[in-house]
Amino acid sequence: MTNTDDAPQAGPVLVLTAGGGNPWMIINHLKRHFPDVRVVEEQPESKRVLLERRRRRFGMINAAGQLGTMIVSRLGKRFAMRRLEEIAESHGLSPLPDLGVPLHGVETLNSDVFHDIIDRLRPSVVVTVSCRILSRETLAQIKCPVINLHSGVNPAYRGQMGGYWALVNGDAENFGATIHLVDAGVDTGDILAIVRARPGKGDSMLTYPALLTASAADAMVDAVRQAIEGRLSPRTPAPGPSRLWFNVPVWTWVYHGLTKGIW
Protein backbone atom coordinates (compact mmCIF):
# COMPACT_ATOMS: atom_id res chain seq x y z
CA MET A 1 0.00 0.00 0.00
CA THR A 2 1.36 3.43 -0.94
CA ASN A 3 2.12 5.78 1.93
CA THR A 4 2.23 9.48 1.02
CA ASP A 5 1.74 10.92 4.51
CA ASP A 6 5.09 12.71 4.59
CA ALA A 7 5.55 16.48 4.51
CA PRO A 8 3.79 18.48 1.77
CA GLN A 9 6.03 19.19 -1.20
CA ALA A 10 6.58 22.61 -2.75
CA GLY A 11 7.90 20.82 -5.84
CA PRO A 12 8.60 17.27 -6.97
CA VAL A 13 11.30 14.96 -5.72
CA LEU A 14 13.43 14.70 -8.84
CA VAL A 15 15.65 11.62 -9.24
CA LEU A 16 18.56 11.76 -11.69
CA THR A 17 19.92 8.47 -12.99
CA ALA A 18 21.26 6.57 -15.96
CA GLY A 19 18.73 3.82 -15.25
CA GLY A 20 18.95 0.30 -13.89
CA GLY A 21 17.48 -1.86 -11.15
CA ASN A 22 19.36 -0.27 -8.24
CA PRO A 23 18.12 3.29 -8.91
CA TRP A 24 14.58 2.00 -9.37
CA MET A 25 14.66 0.44 -5.90
CA ILE A 26 15.24 3.96 -4.57
CA ILE A 27 12.73 5.62 -6.91
CA ASN A 28 9.97 3.16 -6.02
CA HIS A 29 10.71 3.50 -2.31
CA LEU A 30 10.58 7.30 -2.51
CA LYS A 31 7.27 7.06 -4.36
CA ARG A 32 5.75 5.24 -1.38
CA HIS A 33 6.44 8.25 0.82
CA PHE A 34 6.13 11.32 -1.39
CA PRO A 35 3.23 12.18 -3.69
CA ASP A 36 5.25 13.68 -6.55
CA VAL A 37 8.37 11.80 -7.64
CA ARG A 38 9.79 12.28 -11.12
CA VAL A 39 12.79 10.90 -12.93
CA VAL A 40 15.28 12.31 -15.41
CA GLU A 41 17.15 9.49 -17.10
CA GLU A 42 20.29 10.22 -19.08
CA GLN A 43 21.87 7.96 -21.68
CA PRO A 44 24.76 5.87 -20.32
CA GLU A 45 28.17 6.82 -21.63
CA SER A 46 29.39 4.58 -24.43
CA LYS A 47 32.14 2.05 -23.73
CA ARG A 48 34.27 3.85 -26.29
CA VAL A 49 34.05 7.17 -24.41
CA LEU A 50 34.76 5.42 -21.09
CA LEU A 51 37.75 3.57 -22.53
CA GLU A 52 39.26 6.73 -24.00
CA ARG A 53 38.87 8.70 -20.77
CA ARG A 54 40.41 5.91 -18.71
CA ARG A 55 43.19 5.40 -21.24
CA ARG A 56 44.22 9.01 -20.74
CA ARG A 57 44.19 8.60 -16.96
CA PHE A 58 45.50 5.06 -16.41
CA GLY A 59 47.10 4.00 -19.70
CA MET A 60 45.70 1.56 -22.23
CA ILE A 61 46.52 -1.67 -20.34
CA ASN A 62 44.76 -0.70 -17.10
CA ALA A 63 41.90 0.92 -19.00
CA ALA A 64 41.38 -2.32 -20.96
CA GLY A 65 41.49 -4.28 -17.69
CA GLN A 66 38.78 -2.08 -16.19
CA LEU A 67 36.67 -2.45 -19.30
CA GLY A 68 37.12 -6.22 -19.04
CA THR A 69 35.70 -6.15 -15.51
CA MET A 70 32.71 -4.12 -16.68
CA ILE A 71 32.01 -6.70 -19.39
CA VAL A 72 32.36 -9.59 -16.92
CA SER A 73 30.03 -7.78 -14.52
CA ARG A 74 27.39 -7.24 -17.18
CA LEU A 75 27.55 -10.82 -18.45
CA GLY A 76 27.61 -12.22 -14.93
CA LYS A 77 24.44 -10.47 -13.80
CA ARG A 78 22.32 -13.33 -15.14
CA PHE A 79 24.07 -15.73 -12.76
CA ALA A 80 23.53 -13.36 -9.83
CA MET A 81 19.86 -12.74 -10.62
CA ARG A 82 18.51 -14.95 -7.84
CA ARG A 83 20.62 -13.15 -5.21
CA LEU A 84 19.66 -9.74 -6.63
CA GLU A 85 15.99 -10.65 -6.37
CA GLU A 86 16.54 -11.88 -2.81
CA ILE A 87 18.16 -8.57 -1.82
CA ALA A 88 15.25 -6.56 -3.18
CA GLU A 89 12.59 -8.81 -1.62
CA SER A 90 14.28 -8.93 1.79
CA HIS A 91 14.23 -5.11 1.94
CA GLY A 92 10.70 -4.81 0.58
CA LEU A 93 11.90 -3.08 -2.59
CA SER A 94 11.26 -3.41 -6.30
CA PRO A 95 13.93 -2.91 -9.00
CA LEU A 96 11.32 -2.80 -11.77
CA PRO A 97 10.53 0.57 -13.41
CA ASP A 98 7.17 2.02 -12.40
CA LEU A 99 5.49 3.21 -15.58
CA GLY A 100 3.36 5.55 -13.47
CA VAL A 101 6.37 7.66 -12.50
CA PRO A 102 6.87 10.56 -14.97
CA LEU A 103 10.18 10.09 -16.78
CA HIS A 104 12.10 12.65 -18.84
CA GLY A 105 14.83 11.32 -21.11
CA VAL A 106 17.94 13.36 -21.90
CA GLU A 107 21.24 12.59 -23.58
CA THR A 108 23.18 13.98 -20.64
CA LEU A 109 22.34 15.78 -17.41
CA ASN A 110 25.02 18.34 -18.18
CA SER A 111 23.02 19.97 -20.96
CA ASP A 112 20.72 22.87 -21.66
CA VAL A 113 17.88 20.39 -22.12
CA PHE A 114 18.23 19.26 -18.51
CA HIS A 115 18.65 22.84 -17.31
CA ASP A 116 15.30 23.66 -18.93
CA ILE A 117 13.69 20.72 -17.12
CA ILE A 118 15.02 22.00 -13.80
CA ASP A 119 13.69 25.49 -14.50
CA ARG A 120 10.28 24.11 -15.42
CA LEU A 121 9.82 21.57 -12.60
CA ARG A 122 11.40 23.58 -9.74
CA PRO A 123 11.98 20.48 -7.58
CA SER A 124 11.99 20.60 -3.79
CA VAL A 125 14.94 18.19 -3.70
CA VAL A 126 17.10 16.42 -6.26
CA VAL A 127 18.36 12.87 -5.69
CA THR A 128 21.21 11.41 -7.75
CA VAL A 129 21.62 7.65 -8.07
CA SER A 130 24.03 6.10 -10.58
CA CYS A 131 24.48 9.04 -12.93
CA ARG A 132 27.37 11.11 -14.24
CA ILE A 133 29.07 13.73 -12.13
CA LEU A 134 27.13 16.99 -12.37
CA SER A 135 29.12 19.89 -13.76
CA ARG A 136 29.50 23.17 -11.87
CA GLU A 137 27.21 24.80 -14.41
CA THR A 138 24.52 22.17 -13.86
CA LEU A 139 24.79 22.41 -10.08
CA ALA A 140 24.40 26.19 -10.33
CA GLN A 141 21.07 25.68 -12.12
CA ILE A 142 19.64 23.62 -9.24
CA LYS A 143 18.22 25.82 -6.47
CA CYS A 144 17.38 23.05 -3.98
CA PRO A 145 19.40 20.45 -2.04
CA VAL A 146 21.07 17.81 -4.23
CA ILE A 147 21.50 14.48 -2.43
CA ASN A 148 23.58 11.56 -3.70
CA LEU A 149 23.52 7.88 -2.79
CA HIS A 150 27.08 6.57 -2.93
CA SER A 151 27.85 2.86 -2.58
CA GLY A 152 30.84 3.34 -0.31
CA VAL A 153 31.73 4.95 3.00
CA ASN A 154 33.06 8.49 2.51
CA PRO A 155 35.65 9.84 2.58
CA ALA A 156 37.76 6.66 2.63
CA TYR A 157 35.95 4.97 -0.28
CA ARG A 158 34.92 7.66 -2.72
CA GLY A 159 34.46 6.89 -6.40
CA GLN A 160 33.65 3.42 -7.68
CA MET A 161 33.16 0.03 -6.03
CA GLY A 162 33.55 1.32 -2.49
CA GLY A 163 32.10 -1.80 -0.87
CA TYR A 164 34.35 -4.11 -2.85
CA TRP A 165 37.51 -2.14 -2.04
CA ALA A 166 36.63 -2.02 1.66
CA LEU A 167 36.47 -5.83 1.74
CA VAL A 168 39.68 -6.23 -0.26
CA ASN A 169 41.43 -3.91 2.20
CA GLY A 170 40.29 -6.00 5.16
CA ASP A 171 38.04 -3.12 6.24
CA ALA A 172 34.67 -4.89 6.42
CA GLU A 173 33.46 -2.40 9.06
CA ASN A 174 33.38 0.17 6.28
CA PHE A 175 31.32 -1.92 3.89
CA GLY A 176 28.52 0.59 3.55
CA ALA A 177 26.83 3.44 1.73
CA THR A 178 26.90 7.21 2.19
CA ILE A 179 24.10 9.68 1.63
CA HIS A 180 25.60 13.11 1.13
CA LEU A 181 25.07 16.52 -0.38
CA VAL A 182 26.55 16.98 -3.83
CA ASP A 183 29.27 19.54 -4.40
CA ALA A 184 31.72 20.06 -7.25
CA GLY A 185 34.00 17.24 -6.08
CA VAL A 186 33.63 13.47 -6.38
CA ASP A 187 31.77 12.19 -3.30
CA THR A 188 33.24 15.03 -1.23
CA GLY A 189 30.04 16.75 -0.08
CA ASP A 190 28.87 17.00 3.52
CA ILE A 191 27.43 13.78 4.90
CA LEU A 192 23.79 13.22 5.83
CA ALA A 193 23.93 9.53 6.76
CA ILE A 194 26.20 6.49 6.61
CA VAL A 195 24.63 3.04 6.50
CA ARG A 196 26.77 -0.04 7.05
CA ALA A 197 25.82 -3.51 5.87
CA ARG A 198 27.21 -7.04 5.93
CA PRO A 199 27.57 -9.04 2.72
CA GLY A 200 26.29 -12.60 2.65
CA LYS A 201 28.04 -15.72 1.44
CA GLY A 202 26.52 -15.42 -2.02
CA ASP A 203 27.47 -11.78 -2.53
CA SER A 204 30.14 -10.55 -4.93
CA MET A 205 31.09 -7.55 -7.03
CA LEU A 206 27.91 -8.33 -8.98
CA THR A 207 25.65 -7.83 -5.96
CA TYR A 208 27.48 -5.47 -3.57
CA PRO A 209 25.99 -2.30 -5.14
CA ALA A 210 22.44 -3.69 -4.93
CA LEU A 211 22.93 -4.70 -1.29
CA LEU A 212 24.28 -1.26 -0.37
CA THR A 213 21.55 0.55 -2.30
CA ALA A 214 18.82 -1.50 -0.63
CA SER A 215 20.37 -1.02 2.80
CA ALA A 216 20.35 2.77 2.33
CA ALA A 217 16.77 3.11 1.01
CA ASP A 218 15.16 4.09 4.32
CA ALA A 219 17.96 6.54 5.09
CA MET A 220 17.39 8.18 1.71
CA VAL A 221 13.69 8.64 2.50
CA ASP A 222 14.68 10.29 5.80
CA ALA A 223 17.13 12.60 4.04
CA VAL A 224 14.57 13.65 1.43
CA ARG A 225 11.97 14.30 4.11
CA GLN A 226 14.44 16.47 6.02
CA ALA A 227 15.29 18.39 2.84
CA ILE A 228 11.62 19.09 2.09
CA GLU A 229 11.04 20.25 5.67
CA GLY A 230 14.16 22.42 5.65
CA ARG A 231 15.88 20.61 8.51
CA LEU A 232 18.88 18.93 6.93
CA SER A 233 21.82 18.56 9.33
CA PRO A 234 24.87 17.82 7.15
CA ARG A 235 28.21 17.17 8.76
CA THR A 236 31.71 17.54 7.41
CA PRO A 237 33.35 14.20 6.53
CA ALA A 238 35.37 12.85 9.44
CA PRO A 239 39.12 13.46 9.33
CA GLY A 240 41.12 10.53 8.05
CA PRO A 241 42.08 8.90 4.76
CA SER A 242 40.23 10.22 1.73
CA ARG A 243 40.78 8.28 -1.46
CA LEU A 244 39.15 8.11 -4.86
CA TRP A 245 38.81 4.51 -6.03
CA PHE A 246 38.17 3.20 -9.53
CA ASN A 247 36.92 0.07 -11.21
CA VAL A 248 39.16 -2.95 -10.64
CA PRO A 249 41.08 -4.41 -13.62
CA VAL A 250 39.81 -7.88 -14.43
CA TRP A 251 43.08 -9.60 -13.51
CA THR A 252 43.15 -7.87 -10.10
CA TRP A 253 39.56 -8.99 -9.52
CA VAL A 254 40.50 -12.59 -10.31
CA TYR A 255 43.59 -12.37 -8.06
CA HIS A 256 41.62 -11.15 -5.02
CA GLY A 257 38.93 -13.71 -5.73
CA LEU A 258 41.41 -16.60 -5.74
CA THR A 259 43.58 -15.39 -2.85
CA LYS A 260 41.00 -13.74 -0.55
CA GLY A 261 37.71 -15.21 -1.66
CA ILE A 262 36.44 -11.72 -2.45
CA TRP A 263 34.73 -11.72 -5.81
Look at residue 3 and tell me whether its pLDDT is greater than 70. no
Look at residue 9 and tell me whether its pLDDT is greater than 90. no
**For the residues of the chain, what is the DSSP string, one character each?**
-----S---SS-EEEEE---HHHHHHHHHHHHH-S-EEEEEEPPPPHHHHHHHHHHHH-HHHHHHHHHHHHHHHHHTTTTHHHHHHHHHHTT---S--TTS-EEEES-SSSHHHHHHHHHH--SEEEE-S-PPPPHHHHHH--S-EEEEESS-TTTTEES-HHHHHHHTT-GGG-EEEEEE--SSSS-SPEEEEEE----TT--TTTHHHHHHHHTHHHHHHHHHHHHTT----BPPPSS---EE-PPPHHHHHHHHHHH---
Q: How confident is the model at residue 74 (pLDDT cuts 50, 70, 90)?
A: confident
For residue 1, the model assigns a pLDDT of 40
What is the mean predicted confidence (pLDDT) over 248-254?
A: 96
For residue 8, the model assigns a pLDDT of 59
Long-range contacts of 194-198 (CB under 8 A, 24+ apart): 194/153, 194/154, 195/219, 196/153, 197/163, 198/172
For residue 2, the model assigns a pLDDT of 47
For residue 10, the model assigns a pLDDT of 82
Instruction: Note the pLDDT tens digit of each residue in 129-146.
Output: 999 999 999 999 999 999
For residue 158, the model assigns a pLDDT of 98
Q: What is the CATH number of domain 13-260?
A: 3.40.50.12230
Predicted structure pTM score: 0.93
